[in-house]
Structure 1
Amino acid sequence: AGHLDAVPYEPRHLREAEARLRDAVHQAREVLAHRATLELACDDDVQVLTASTGGARTGVAALADALRAELDARRSGSGQAERDLFDRMLSGASRRHLADRIRQATALVEDMNRRLERVRTASRLAVRLAWQVDPAQPAGTRNARDLLLRDPAGLDETARETLYAFFRDRVEEARADGSPASWEDQLATVLDYTSWHRFTVRLDRGDGEGWQDLTRKLHGALSGGEKAIALHLPLFAAVAAHYQTDPGCPRFILLDEVFVGVDRTNRGQVFELLVDLGLDLVLTSDHEWCEYRELDGIAIHQLITGDGDDAVTTARFVWNGHRTAPTDLSRP
């Protein structure tokens, strides 16, 4: 009362307070959509907030008490069941599958890096990928990942409790978003290892600085050809990695105005990488014929227009890794 007496009062203050109240009620309705229905009504000069749950009308204080009691009961009643589920996951096929997928992803990135590092430009630029735990992830993610990769039989009680606490906290964070999913469903979401990691492109400029993360600033300091190399190589690796999920599928990659700004020596190295990755190329260019010793073969179609008419035809050539020769399109 003393504080209110000391604050200047104007009608606009009341209007501002009512606006804040309506905003708060709107947000609460969204959060409690699966739990209760909130109603804000005006009774003379008083705003009355009520809630309905299960067909029964109650005040918001009673609703808060009921939700708090429900949360406490859920935590105490399901705690052991959740722990049993976690123990089964930790010692069963789910953990093995998760650990295998993380190891496979790590091995795939390492394989792609071995291929990428064969390409070093004339200016000594090389590119590689880093697949690591995202720093934006909650604290303990890296430790939990390392523990999951270990044999569960070798985990002591402290390590198991660390893992349990980590996943329990992540599930509670997911629940706080308002999802009505069960603990088991939430755990499956939390176990999505791809969301734990992020890819970073790294460059070695051969200047003694070693590998550096590719930032906007670093990218801006590169030459035009180096910029193209830094952006193309990770994309090629990503495409090749995607195609590895189905070894029998066509491995197409389509490039328009291929490698503009990249000098001939570096283009040869990039084509060698594409061959090594086993990608099937479809390229367009107004000048590039792909005559590189690193490329073992490619068909070239040159578009030809006639003088004074709209007809367009094509002349076909084949590069066999050593020379380019015309071919007869009429022959099968």
Structure 2
Amino acid sequence: LRAGLTGAERELFDQTLTGETRRHLAARIRQAGELVDTMNARLKRVRTASKVAVRLVWEVDPNLPAGTGAARELLLTDPERLDDADKDVLHAFFRERVDEARRHGTAAGWEGQLAQVFDYTSWHRFGVQIDRANGEGWQLLTKRLHGALSGGEKAIALHLPLFAAVAAHYQAVPAAPRFILLDEVFVGVDATNRGQVFDLLTALDLDLVLTSDHEWCTYRELDGIAVHQLITGDGDDAVTTARFVWDGRALAEERGAP
């Protein structure tokens, strides 16, 4: 019975790994990699005054069982180029993953187990790397390394990956509004770096709404933004606003604007 079941499973895996499932899975993995490359090309625009740069890495999770990386590469390979040894590697890998799903009871039924096994997002993890232009190259951003950065550099290292992730999320629905709301924006980041970050936000085509008690967004990297200053009266609770517009060159008050 076990041999017969294994033979049937092998046939199913062979059909899966040479058919539409494999093509779809390979396409999604490649699309994710291309998306990360696009985000990194935009993140490359920002390097702090102290020469710190940030990038994303999307890699096979090293905590997963040995062979995950090799199986991933074989899935991305044209099925016609796979020999029997390659197919044996793939079959053994997925057989082990199905057995693991059964042991842990995390998926019910054969279809559920297959869905869990082919969930490529669970094979990967995101990381943030920084380059401090000190000859050490790109390093994984750990708590220890983050603690060694200045206040502005810490803010940059945390903000940029989040902006990239938001932009990637919105990319899935091109017609959707691309809002990002920030309270007390870029505290601790110097003016030069703030201009670079706004340039990145423009490149990511994000619609920024922010609050600040000091930021007027008058950076050449921004070609247009409206600023509403809250004004309180003396001795009463009334609050009104004055509207200013920055056009990339000058800040002007719009009198009579709502």
- Matching residue of 2:112: 185
Q: Secondary structure at the match of 2:128?
A: strand
- Give the stretch that moved more between structures: 191-200 or 175-184: 175-184
- Matching residue of 1:22: none
Residue 185 (structure 1) shift: 2.5
For 2:180 and 2:122, how far apart are their aligned partners in 1?
A: 27
* Percent identity over paired residues: 71
| TM-score of the pair, normalised by structure 2 | 0.97
* Unmatched 5+ stretches in structure 2: none
Aligned with 1:292 (options 189, 196, 219): 219
* Unmatched 5+ stretches in structure 1: 1-72
Aligned with 2:141 (options 214, 225, 237): 214
- Matching residue of 1:101: 28
For 2:121 and 2:8, how far apart are their aligned partners in 1?
A: 27
Given the superposition, is the C-alpha separation of residues 256 and 101 from structure 1 closer, same or farther in structure 2, using an over 3 Å criterion? same
Contact in 2 for aligned 1:82/1:183 (Cα 8 Å): no
What value does the CA root-mean-square deviation take over the aligned residues?
Answer: 1.1
Q: Are 1:121 and 2:48 an aligned pair?
A: yes
Residue 178 (structure 1) shift: 2.8
Given the superposition, is the C-alpha separation of residues 80 and 284 from structure 1 closer, same or farther in structure 2, using an over 3 Å criterion? same
Contact in 1 for aligned 2:51/2:133 (Cα 8 Å): yes
Residue 85 (structure 1) shift: 1.2
| TM-score of the pair, normalised by structure 1 | 0.76
For 2:15 and 2:107, how far apart are their aligned partners in 1?
A: 23
Q: Are 1:233 and 2:134 an aligned pair?
A: no
For 1:329 and 1:119, how far apart are their aligned partners in 2?
A: 38
Residue 269 (structure 1) shift: 0.3
- Matching residue of 2:208: 281
- Matching residue of 2:60: 133
Q: Secondary structure at the match of 1:201?
A: strand
Q: Secondary structure at the match of 1:281?
A: strand
Given the superposition, is the C-alpha separation of residues 282 and 180 from structure 1 closer, same or farther in structure 2, using an over 3 Å criterion? closer
Q: Secondary structure at the match of 2:213?
A: coil
Q: Secondary structure at the match of 1:250?
A: coil
The aligned length equals 258
Q: Secondary structure at the match of 2:104?
A: coil
For 1:200 and 1:109, how far apart are their aligned partners in 2?
A: 11
Runs of 4+ in 1 over 6 A off after TM superposition: none
Q: Secondary structure at the match of 2:164?
A: helix
Q: Are 1:163 and 2:90 an aligned pair?
A: yes
For 1:275 and 1:180, how far apart are their aligned partners in 2?
A: 43
Q: Are 1:271 and 2:198 an aligned pair?
A: yes
Q: Are 1:250 and 2:140 an aligned pair?
A: no
Residue 150 (structure 1) shift: 0.3
Match of 2:129, as an amino acid? R
Q: Are 1:261 and 2:171 an aligned pair?
A: no
